[in-house]
Chain A
Amino acid sequence: MSTLQSIPVVAPPAEEPSGGGNLLANVFDELLAFCRSRSLFMLHYCTGCGAIELPPAMTSRFDMERLGIQPMVTPRQADILLVTGYVSTKTLKRIILTYEQMNSPKYVIGICSCTVNGGMYWQSYATAKKLSDYMPVDMYIAGCMPRPEAVISGLRELMENIRAGRSDNWRDYYQRYDHYLGNQQRLFGEHWQTPTDVIGEARHYGQFGPETLGEHTALLERHQTPLLPFEMRLGLGDVSKGGKS
C-alpha cells in the first residue's frame, strides 16, 4: 500500500480470445459478449457520498438507460455491483455476502477514492482500504466524488472490456478464492463464513483453480458450521408470558 504500484488503478489486460483463423468460430460467443455489454443491471451498494452522483446519472440528465444500464434491486438480478464510497469493516461483510449471491458473469465497480485506497478514511481503524483485496474489482472510478460524466465514461469502458472479453474477473474469485478468503479472514477473524459455498460452486461450474484451496480455506473448513434453516416459531418465545415457544 505504501508504493504507487500496489494501488490497483489499472487491471492487467487479459489475452485476446483467438478464433483460430475461422471467422465464424466465435460468432456465438461474440453475440453473447455483445448482449452482456449492452445490458447491464446495476445493484448499487451506496455506502458513502458517491451515491449522490448516481441519481443524475440514471435519470433525465444523463440517462444511463440509453446505454442499456438499469438499476436493479436484488443481487440475484444484478450484473454490476457498484460500491460507491468508503467500506467499513461491517459494511464489507454485507458487500461480500451480496457479491457472492450474484450470478456470474458479474462485475464490481469501485467508485470514489475511498474504494481505491481508503481515501480520506486512510487513518480510520474500521475502514477497509482496498476493495480489490476482498473481491475482484473490474473497474475503479477515482474521484472524490466522480461526476456523473466520469461514472458514465467508466461504465462505457467496462462495456468495452466486456464486449472484448477482457472483463473476466469473476473467475478470479473462484480461482484464487484462498487469497480473497485470507484477506477476509485477516479482517473478520478466523470464524468468518458466508452462506454461499464458493468452493462447491467453483467445482460445479468448472472454475476450480490451483489457488482455490489453500491454508485459508482449510481454516474455513475447520471452523465452518453447517447452514441450517431458521427454526420457524410462532409467538415471541420466552420473552413474553403469553407466547408459545
Chain B
Amino acid sequence: MKMMELLLELTVMPLLAFTVGLFMVLMMRKIAAKIQRRVGPPLLQPLYDIVKLYAKETQSSHGLLHDIGIVMAVGGYIAAETMLPVPGMNGIADKAGMLTLAYVTMIPSLGLALGVGQCANPNGSIGIARALTAMLAYDVPFVVIIFGASWLYGSNNLVEVIAAQQAGGIASWGVTQMPLLAIAGLFTLYAMLGKQPFEIYVAPAEIATGPMVEMGGKHLGGLFVMQCFQLFTASAIYVSLFLGGGENWLFFIAKLFAVVAIPMSMAFVFPRYRTEDVLAVVWRWPMLLGLIGVWLVMR
C-alpha cells in the first residue's frame, strides 16, 4: 500500500508540475505582451504549441544521441519534480537532499549538450557552450544559498526545511530569517530562468536560438515541455527555501506565480549581456550577498 502510494505520487507530481508550468509559460508571454502593449496569446496557447509540435508528421532527427539528449533534458526535470515537496505530497523528497536536487537540475543542460553535439550545427555548439557557462555562473551562488539555508535550519532535507518554516509562521520563513540570501536567491533564480538580460544561450537574433537551432517537431516539443518544468522547478525550489513551502495548493500556487512574475516583469525591458558579463555579474552580486548572508547566518 505504501509502495502504491509512492508510485502514485511519483506519477502525479510531474504531471501537476507540468500543468502549473504551462500556465507559467502563459503568464510569461502575457507579461511580455502587456509590457509591449499587446493583447498576447490566448489561454491555452502553450498547450496548442506543444500538441502541434508533437503532431508533426515528418521529423528531423540527427541520430540516436539527438533523441536521447531530449529524453535526458525532460527526464532530468521529471526526476527533479519527484524530489520537490508540494502540498500533500513528498514523493522521494525526504530521501533526497537539496544537494541531490541541485545535481539533478544540472542533468537537463548536460543532456541538451549531448543532443546538440550530434546536430553538428555551429550555432548550436556556441549556444550549448554558453548554456553550460551560464550554468556554471548560477550554480555557484545556488550552492552557497543551499549551504546557508541548510545551516540555518540544521538540515539538508527540503521536507524538514519546509516543516521548520511552517511551524513558526512568517517569522520563521527563510525570507525573514536570511533576507540577504533571499535576495541573492532571487537573483540566481533570474539567471537560472535564462531570460533577458541572462538570455545568452538563446539569443535568437545572434545565434538563432542556440541549442534549439536544429530542433523541430517532437524535439522542439520536448524542449517546450522542459521549459514548463524548468519554470516550475526553479520557482518551487525558491518557495521551499525562502517562502515556507506550500501550506495548501492555493497559497503554494500563488507563491510560485509571484516568484516567477518578479523576474519576468523585469526581463522584457532588457537587452542581453555578453557571456563574460553574465559570469562577472552573477559571480559578483549574488555571490557577495550570498556570502555575507551565510556569514550572518553562521555568526
Contacts and interface: CB of A to CB of B under 8 A. Distances in A.
A237 interface: no
A63 B32 CA distance: 12
Contact of A35 (B29, B51, B205): B51
B36 A39 contact: no
Nearest to A58: B38
Contacts of A60: 36-38
Contacts of B38: 59-60, 63, 65-66
A73 B42 contact: no
Contacts of A74: 208-209, 212-214, 216
Contacts of B213: 73-74, 76
**Which secondary structure dominates where chain A touches chain B?**
loop
B102 to A, nearest CB: 31
Contact of A63 (B33, B49, B204): B33
B200 to A, nearest CB: 16
B55 interface: yes
A76 B52 contact: no
B42 A205 contact: no
Contacts of B217: 76, 103
B220 interface: yes
Contacts of B40: 63, 65-66
Contacts of A36: 52, 55
Nearest to A63: B38
A39 B214 contact: no
A64 to B, nearest CB: 9
A32 interface: yes
A201 to B, nearest CB: 6
B270 interface: no
Contact of A73 (B37, B39, B45, B208): B208
Contacts of A105: 56-57
A76 B45 CA distance: 20
Nearest to B38: A63
A55 interface: no
B57 A65 contact: no
Main secondary structure of the interface of B (DSSP, over half): loop
Given A68-B42, A74-B209, A35 B48 contact: yes
A77 interface: yes
A213 B217 CA distance: 27
A11 B48 CA distance: 27
A74 B56 CA distance: 16
A78 B204 CA distance: 13
A76 B33 contact: no
Interface string A43-83: 00000000000000001100101101000011111110000
B55 A103 contact: no
B127 to A, nearest CB: 11
A101 interface: yes
Of the listed residues B56, B120, B213, B214, the one surrounded by the most CB atoms of chain A closer than 10 A to its CB is B56
Contacts of A66: 38-42
B204 A73 contact: yes
Given A31-B51, A60-B36, A76-B214, A65 B41 contact: yes
Contacts of B47: 35
A77 B39 contact: no
B265 to A, nearest CB: 17
B176 interface: no
A102 B204 CA distance: 18
Contacts of A205: 57-58
A158 B55 CA distance: 18
B60 interface: yes
A32 B216 contact: no
A204 to B, nearest CB: 8
Contacts of A104: 56-58
Contact of A201 (B41, B49, B58, B208): B58
A32 B220 contact: no
Given A59-B36, A65-B29, A103-B60, A77 B220 contact: yes
Contact of B41 (A34, A59, A68, A75): A68
Interface of B: 29, 33, 36-42, 45, 47-49, 51-52, 55-60, 120, 204-205, 208-209, 212-217, 220
Given A66-B38, A68-B41, 13 more contacts: A35-B55, A38-B42, A66-B40, A66-B42, A68-B42, A73-B213, A74-B213, A76-B216, A77-B216, A101-B60, A104-B58, A201-B58, A205-B57
**Those 4 A-B pairs whose CB atoms lie nearest each other, nearest first:** A76-B216, A35-B51, A39-B48, A66-B39
29 contacts: A32-B51, A34-B48, A35-B48, A35-B52, A38-B52, A39-B45, A59-B38, A60-B37, A60-B38, A63-B38, A63-B39, A65-B40, A65-B41, A66-B39, A66-B40, A68-B42, A68-B48, A75-B216, A76-B60, A76-B217, A77-B212, A77-B215, A77-B216, A101-B60, A102-B216, A103-B57, A103-B216, A201-B58, A229-B120
